[in-house]
A and B are shown apart, each in its own frame.
Chain A
């Protein structure tokens, strides 16, 4: 086929990009070369719209061993232990084919982690679906959950936490973000930078098939009516092979045979070989006739673009080939020497003894286009003036039950029952808490992780929303007694070529950066998913934050369920009663306007450190942060989890009970305090100058507040626990 501008456009390149390629090469590329350019220059691989803004992120910290730019980020957790972690999107494929899309999302992120030498120890996910009433939602949800479970369960890595939301903006573009944490000795971390000339380049894992061709380009475009036709671009996963690949790689990593290693993810062999060579400032020569293929007569074009799963590319020390092959033979995996590193600084492809492509590496990496796209600021919406007389017709207890069974608040047990969350024998906090917690095997340490996003806040005001999610993640970790260390982010947005969407991206990133800097909570890895748009309708901006924290003695971990009758319950942090953008406003007043709650970073940090201090001194026995839904929802969850009630005090100086109980002000926690600790707690709260309310006392089997609320815990639990199951069964 002759390469023309039309062919280039069919490959997802822009007209100007094609002219630039011809100019840089000083000739027209052949079809294979064009395919390589299209794979490397698309949004998904090149970050061409986002790179300029991502550079500003806060990525350094005392405990950061590796920030963004590698397969995953790495943090130091002491005693030579390090945690490798990253979150990644698999949105486009999951909408087209939910089971395989979600499954390979999980497979891909686990490979990113074990590529660095770490054994995966926990998985998390953040999944977002259209309105529950939308005809596709139920099947997409079922498929995604089965896909995530099918892959993670088989590998034997526990899924310890997650987040599921429903919003009509995802009707045409669901989001599937998967996160993995791995454990590695900090002196045995593997990187993707090739080094040394004439070193063998090894292909290991599954054979290459025709699945997933153009996957990365598909993920860099919006959807239209013909998405069914894109099914062949979705990869097909085989978790069994991945489990073998994991064990084989870790076995080979036990000695010093590997110089560099990179998994074949988006854009397969193309991006993995180019990235390794580019980082090492080398050239690479690949003989494509040596690539193990699943199907007959595969062309260089197909081999270079295939996104078949469970494959790795390794640059090995010379002379270690036999040793390495033995290990991969033991695990019944393909092993082939397919090339070598060179000093040409080019990628050279040979097929049937002929050179079929030859491109200088820097044209694919450093010279890839970078765009400074125009963007528009989002103004802070005006605060609403609620008609408080209207509230009076609402009974507090009815409001509470209604919110507890809201699709975004209700219990997600139906989902996490399908994920193996206890394999590996170290899960000490299961899904359903503020964060999942796993012990660092064989030590007293434990690692906490949580995933969060707040699309409603980000849509209303991206700058505030960006800050808020980082704070939410920070609070969730502190609520289980962990010291927050670092975050990974998955930035899900609409079409960057639209000023509004681009503006949402820029301002969310700004918010994330500001908060992570202030809280010393750096970003160490992540990815960007643009073009989450169908027929001109984009998603609400949905940056997802995966936070990781450390509990130095796992016996100090906190959970949210109330523990002992007679203990006191405090709300730490001040409640102003911010109802704009709250679930209460949406669900009971049908009011969707107004600004998100203000984020005060000083308060977040000060109050967070206070609560952490209380937990380190063993002065509190349960803890939960106040977020979506407000105080009454938070306290109900603590009752349901602990199977104990609460008698709420008549609160002094309360101006409006609806605002107090359902307001979504930030920087607040609810803690349970044994009477014996009370004085010490009060002293510490005074020392930090932190506002607190004496909310009530753990008592009986009901939640009680004056004459307004008297609800048995069982009734609350029924409202909370069964919405999703009923929905899925209906």
Chain B
């Protein structure tokens, strides 16, 4: 499976994502934000970081960058686009995903392990995933997902909520919500479920010496579904 990771000025999880993708067998290449086109890919990843310094609003300047038109075209033609953390913020700014990511409820940056519940498995990311609850890692200041009532209803009606913050046992409530996100939302899909944005970082959880290994399941599953 061929993948491309886009580097924006200020991206800082681009290398981590490259390492993770290659570890599981993706043929990955790095693409500079000023390039006009993206090499032939089966998956495009917008990595975490602080693209353009998060100036104006997180992700907003990146959503107007030169490369982004190719990303949007790719998504609209059904290609898989994955946005992690700042990548999720960029996807909401482009309009590919609904809603916004506000500052965390307690106004602090949070770096911590979290559990997320996989809410939908009818998609190329989570289909046949053996676990329902994954332990992943968050590191963000603006991860508090919010959208209008109508948008929320349509997300729910179309099963577009991908993952929600929960406890180890899967309980979704206020105490298992690290940032105040509406309905504990940690990640969502577009309508066709080829575009996924999520705040947690699977690429930081890819071997037992790191914070955990559930990120490995995520990457392997994408590959398995592609075969």
Q: Which residues of A contact B (CB under 8 A)?
A: 146, 149-150, 153-156, 238-241, 243-244, 330-332, 416-425, 427-428, 430, 439, 554-555
Query: Does B146 make an interface contact (CB < 8 A)?
Result: no
Nearest to A156 among chain B residues (CB) is B12
Nearest to A429 among chain B residues (CB) is B209
In contact, B15 and A424 (Cβ under 8 angstroms): yes
In contact, A154 and B9 (Cβ under 8 angstroms): no
Residue from B10, B20, B112, B204 within 8 A of A240 (CB atoms):
B10
In contact, A244 and B9 (Cβ under 8 angstroms): yes
Residue from B9, B111, B203, B204 within 8 A of A418 (CB atoms):
B111
Residues of A within 8 A of B10 (CB): 154, 240, 243-244
Residues of B within 8 A of A425 (CB): 15-16, 19-20, 203-204, 206, 210
Nearest to B108 among chain A residues (CB) is A418
For this complex, 18 residue pairs linking A to B, each with C-beta atoms less than 8 Å apart, are A154-B10, A240-B9, A243-B10, A330-B34, A332-B9, A417-B108, A417-B109, A417-B111, A417-B112, A418-B111, A420-B109, A423-B13, A423-B16, A423-B48, A425-B15, A425-B206, A425-B210, A555-B209
Nearest to A247 among chain B residues (CB) is B9
A625 to chain B, nearest CB (A): 22
Interchain CA distance A332-B65 in the complex, whole Å: 14
Interchain CA distance A710-B20 in the complex, whole Å: 46
User: Do A243 and B211 contact each other (CB < 8 Å), given the known contacts A153-B109, A156-B49, A417-B108?
Assistant: no
Number of A-B contacts (CB under 8 A): 86
Nearest to B48 among chain A residues (CB) is A423
Interchain CA distance A419-B140 in the complex, whole Å: 10
Interchain CA distance A424-B139 in the complex, whole Å: 12
Interchain CA distance A332-B53 in the complex, whole Å: 13
Nearest to A425 among chain B residues (CB) is B16
Query: Does B55 make an interface contact (CB < 8 A)?
Result: yes
Nearest to B201 among chain A residues (CB) is A422
Query: Does B223 make an interface contact (CB < 8 A)?
Result: no
Residue from A240, A331, A430 within 8 A of B52 (CB atoms):
A240
Q: How many residues of B contact A (CB 8 A)?
A: 31
Residues of A within 8 A of B55 (CB): 240
In contact, B210 and A331 (Cβ under 8 angstroms): no
In contact, B210 and A428 (Cβ under 8 angstroms): yes
In contact, A156 and B209 (Cβ under 8 angstroms): no
Question: Per-residue 0/1 for B1-43: is the Cβ within 8 Å of any A Cβ (1 yes, 0 no)?
Answer: 0000000011011011001100000000000001000000000
User: Which are the 9 A-B pairs with shortest beta-carbon distances?
Assistant: A156-B12, A240-B53, A425-B16, A420-B139, A154-B50, A428-B209, A418-B109, A422-B204, A420-B111
Interchain CA distance A331-B10 in the complex, whole Å: 10
Residues of A within 8 A of B210 (CB): 422, 425, 427-428
Residues of B within 8 A of A554 (CB): 209
Question: Per-residue 0/1 for B49-66: is the Cβ within 8 Å of any A Cβ (1 yes, 0 no)?
Answer: 110111100000000000
A249 to chain B, nearest CB (A): 14
Extra A-B contacts (5), CB below 8 Å, given A417-B110, A420-B111, A425-B206: A153-B139, A154-B10, A239-B53, A422-B210, A439-B209
Query: Does B137 make an interface contact (CB < 8 A)?
Result: yes
Interchain CA distance A256-B85 in the complex, whole Å: 37
Interchain CA distance A156-B20 in the complex, whole Å: 17
Interchain CA distance A156-B204 in the complex, whole Å: 13
Residues of B within 8 A of A241 (CB): 53
Residues of A within 8 A of B203 (CB): 425
A413 to chain B, nearest CB (A): 9
User: Do A154 and B209 contact each other (CB < 8 Å), given the known contacts A243-B12, A418-B108, A423-B16?
Assistant: no
In contact, B50 and A240 (Cβ under 8 angstroms): yes
Interchain CA distance A339-B34 in the complex, whole Å: 32
Nearest to B204 among chain A residues (CB) is A422
Interchain CA distance A203-B109 in the complex, whole Å: 34
User: Do A421 and B111 contact each other (CB < 8 Å), given the known contacts A154-B50, A239-B53, A428-B209?
Assistant: yes
A358 to chain B, nearest CB (A): 40
Residue from B12, B34, B206 within 8 A of A155 (CB atoms):
B12
Residues of B within 8 A of A153 (CB): 50, 109, 111, 139, 141
Residue from A153, A155, A331, A554 whose CB has the most chain B CB atoms within 10 Å: A153
In contact, B53 and A238 (Cβ under 8 angstroms): yes
